[in-house]
Chain A
């Protein structure tokens, strides 16, 4: 009996990576905005808003990388070496930022140092992830089952651009989260920061939408040949609608809408990239099916995954539920 598990794994892995981008995206974004907080009280508030959930969020990164190894090992063996330095930089930045949660509070003599570690770590980790995304879209030099370029190939004008773009993207998500979790003057400041980020994100989306088809004929053909262009123009319409919604909610008093709008923008961009690349997992070289692990491997793992993933989602949701509501820096009375 041969069942093709590849579509299912594509959906699972795609979802896991998107969850990572969303969850660690907002908490890296919160880390970026942390650097702009005016005083210790606001910094404590900002950090507290993500302290109970950050390591759960980061766990999706492990699941994403291991999921890639498990479902599409050939892609893992080519992409990860090709992204040697951005991955190194991302990991080191994530280490600094992760320990800062504990160290800022406990190592009070060096609190300023750990504040910087938290903020700069978030910046650098985000930038590195943006470079990874850009370099992945562009593709790599491959021969047989190996990456044959150098470890510096991944740094291109396009990947550096997506690196900077993602900083604004995550900051927008982070602003959405903070608007939801804070109130008063801090919330107002965050709204203003959110507006700036939104403008930058919009510019980035437009630039990437033109840049990718210009540098890649396959992608241009995918989007602009008839009848695709008719179907896919709906993506642009939806993007414009979400953008309008996001701009309005950043300017009125809604507290949850800016976060939802930012999620919407990420979702539609993610979908756009998926449409550009499908069915390639190593662009220009290997399709999802060519890079897939053996069907025995995929079958063995799917049983547990289908059983465990809903449970994980359930108790992750529970831990978010426990920490619902506005965050407070100074404790009082009740």
Chain B
């Protein structure tokens, strides 16, 4: 059997980044949530917020550790499997990655130690500051990584000399055309993902009749936030779509499974795209809605895949379905929010069936993030730098299929152990719940008894 090192490298990259993205999707929001809780506790001195914060900090410790180790893998992928991409784009993209390291990683890593272990070792304001710095670090990290990612989609501010990209204008590079939309859409997606996990956990406690007071605060606070963010996200997604229409029409055509450019185009709700015969089967469509959604003009023309040669089209079926999964999940979220508003109005937010629904919705954000990521990255194919550098010309020439098979198997094996165990441990922490108000774990000599426990007792003598 012939092993294609290019295909295997792509699968390996999809594998390591798909697992990695789950963690920032959760920790970016969680870091901000913890910072807010610490802040509320710092200013109001209400112990309840402190206990909620300690509880989530434990979960944060596990997920952040997994994010760090799976994140270290990422920069090396550029070198090990995509060395020609690294060679070609380094002059433009490497400073963005480097600034991520300089601004974000160290901020997170250094202040995380104090956040997790230093509660009794530093003054209260310094602990609150540490929580805020960790949150800021995660956002800065998102900023730089999405800037680099967006540049691959909508490159700007560069020139090409001998097949290598060179910078001409840094602000054009960083704030490239798709970046503001992608950044907004992602940060909100991450916050929403965390939000649905928080309400699921709160609903679980309320149904079990434990930590009810804390959980009601969590549920109500987070549902208000989601009420704001979910509609905002749909709006941002629409803007992002307009941006894709303008700069990446071929990608848009693949996402919508439009083969022929047409005016007053329908919206295809469902179809089985057939790339060989350049058509769709079993189509369910709504007339006119395609043009309206994609261009905000019912008469406008939308692009069709046949405008581009076959070797410049993205895989249609994957982009098409991934996008539909993401959008459907978004509208399910909206449905949950509308329900919550109605129940809130009738003062029945803790109705059994709604709590159960919240619990079921726990993974909804993760699924939407993954589907959205697949949409945008598969839609970028067959390019690594859109329209300029092909994926096939990006990968490391010295690799044999066998080499990549080994490494891919290694990553599969390790991730299939680490991620399920991490997940089980987090559910264990959830089962135990927040600490009771009277629980006290003494601390001495600057070190807690266990590596990750957060000392629950807060000394008020600072």
Binds B, one of A83-91, A157-165, A196-204, A272-280: A83-91
| Residue-wise interface mask of B (386-403) relative to A, using a CB-CB cutoff of 8 A (1 in contact, 0 not) | 000000000011111001
Contacts of A186 in B (CB 8 A): none
Q: Does A206 contact B (CB under 8 A)?
A: no
Q: How large is the interface on A (under 10, 10 to 19, 20 to 34, 35 or more residues)?
A: 35 or more
Q: Given A59-B109, A69-B75, A101-B451, check contact A297 B91 (CB 8 Å).
A: yes
Contacts of A67 in B (CB 8 A): 98, 101
Instruction: Select which of A101, A297, A325, A329 is within 8 A of B452 by beta carbon.
Output: A101
Instruction: Select which of B62, B97, B448 is within 8 A of A102 by beta carbon.
Output: B62
Binds B, one of A29-37, A245-253, A301-309: A301-309
CA distance A52 to B441 in the complex (A): 18
Contact across chains for B418 and A106 when beta carbons are under 8 A apart: no
Contact across chains for A145 and B87 when beta carbons are under 8 A apart: yes
Instruction: Select which of B106, B117, B444, B450 is within 8 A of A312 by beta carbon.
Output: B106
Contact across chains for B94 and A70 when beta carbons are under 8 A apart: yes
Q: Does B251 contact A (CB under 8 A)?
A: no
Q: Does B84 contact A (CB under 8 A)?
A: yes
Q: How large is the interface on B (under 10, 10 to 19, 20 to 34, 35 or more residues)?
A: 35 or more
Contact across chains for A56 and B452 when beta carbons are under 8 A apart: no
Contacts of A74 in B (CB 8 A): 87
Binds A, one of B65-73, B271-279, B287-295, B332-340: B65-73
CA distance A69 to B97 in the complex (A): 9
Contact across chains for B414 and A92 when beta carbons are under 8 A apart: yes
Contact across chains for B414 and A66 when beta carbons are under 8 A apart: no
Contacts of B421 in A (CB 8 A): 99, 103, 107
Contact across chains for A52 and B116 when beta carbons are under 8 A apart: yes
Binds A, one of B45-53, B180-188, B195-203, B422-430: B422-430
Contact across chains for B414 and A81 when beta carbons are under 8 A apart: no
Instruction: Select which of B65, B73, B398 is within 8 A of A101 by beta carbon.
Output: B65
Contact across chains for B65 and A98 when beta carbons are under 8 A apart: yes
| Chain B residue at minimum C-beta to C-beta distance from A96 | B414
Contacts of B355 in A (CB 8 A): none
Contacts of A151 in B (CB 8 A): 398-400, 403
Contact across chains for B442 and A95 when beta carbons are under 8 A apart: no
Contact across chains for B418 and A319 when beta carbons are under 8 A apart: no
**B-contacting residues, A228-247, CB 8 Å:** none
Q: Does A216 contact B (CB under 8 A)?
A: no
Instruction: Select which of B84, B111, B448 is within 8 A of A77 by beta carbon.
Output: B84
Instruction: Select which of A294, A315, A331 is within 8 A of B443 by beta carbon.
Output: A331
Contact across chains for A319 and B114 when beta carbons are under 8 A apart: yes
A81–chain B nearest beta-carbon distance, Å: 4
6 cross-chain pairs, A with B, having the tightest CB-CB distances, nearest first: A80-B79, A73-B90, A70-B94, A52-B113, A51-B451, A77-B87
Show 14 A/B contacts (Cβ-Cβ < 8 Å), sorted by A: A47-B451, A48-B451, A56-B113, A59-B109, A70-B98, A78-B83, A79-B79, A96-B414, A102-B425, A147-B83, A150-B398, A297-B90, A322-B114, A325-B446
What would 18 more interface pairs be, CB under 8 Å, given A56-B110, A294-B167, A300-B167?
A: A51-B452, A59-B106, A62-B75, A63-B102, A66-B100, A69-B94, A74-B87, A80-B80, A84-B80, A85-B406, A99-B421, A102-B452, A105-B452, A151-B400, A304-B103, A316-B110, A327-B447, A331-B449
